[in-house]
Structure 1
Amino acid sequence: METLAAGAYYIRNGPFPFSRSHIEDKSLNPKAVFTLWKGSEEKPGKPLFTSNVYTLIQSKRRSRPTGVLPESGHKQKLFAFLRGERATVWKVEPVALVVMISYVITSAVDGKFWVSTPPQPGAVPGEEHQIEVKTLILNPVDPRYSSEAIFEIVRA
């Protein structure tokens, strides 16, 4: 699969869904996007794209573009924007694995990767881990990407 067709998709890191929090304040401030616990309710996202370059829309009730805050630096996190802030353009590239085709998602501008931190054994049940956006050191041979940077994108 070279590109994703228009439509709604679920995004997962292994068995862990990607979504905004199920509990949010009522403000229009940017909303964090998390790696949730296995079995959590999934909210589909919609890619808007040209070729394999996308503006990923992640929604709870309505579509919201995604981007990073702070806009620069090493501690960037993924957010859904509600007030029309400038969305980040993401490059979605297929990664062939033995059992499925998965994807890495990088910023089209600076090449930083989405990185998931799935819940670890002993973690507080229900604790959410926000998706980070950071530079990765890639392996010169397969597997090139760490499992935290590989996402499954499936039609909703």
Structure 2
Amino acid sequence: MPPKKPHKTVAVNKKARHEYEFLEIFEAGMSLVGTEVKSMRQGKISFKDGHIQFRNNEAWLVGVHIAPYDHSGYSEHDPERPRKLLLHTREITQLSAKVDQKGLAVIPTKIYLVHGRFKVEIALARGKKTYDRKQELKQRDIDRETKRQMVNF
């Protein structure tokens, strides 16, 4: 798990925790262009179908939509372009091997600022089955109800 640093959360992939079970969490930097940075500072990020692909011993963030910056003028960026992730080579080989062998996925969970630099938290995850999700929702309702009963006494 990455060490705790002072950071400002910009965007969270809320759907990821519902659909996946996280096995390991990593922190990676991102290679961005100027208008992407300004747009991300405004919080205009959507994770919709975001995932990590491994090509030529490099990790790429694919499917994350960063809206064009309002005041960019002529130099707009492509909102859907793949963005290179900055990870150590051993981390890339370790993640790609696990994805190939076990049928796991690597997904982005959170984007945040650390000392003025954008970082993305990625998770090695296994997809949950439908009955797992239903069981989790049922357990959450039971916990909420017991907490409510404890407050009333």
- TM (norm. structure 2) is 0.26
- Which one has the bigger helix percentage? 2
- TM (norm. structure 1) is 0.26
Q: Which has the larger radius of gyration?
A: 2
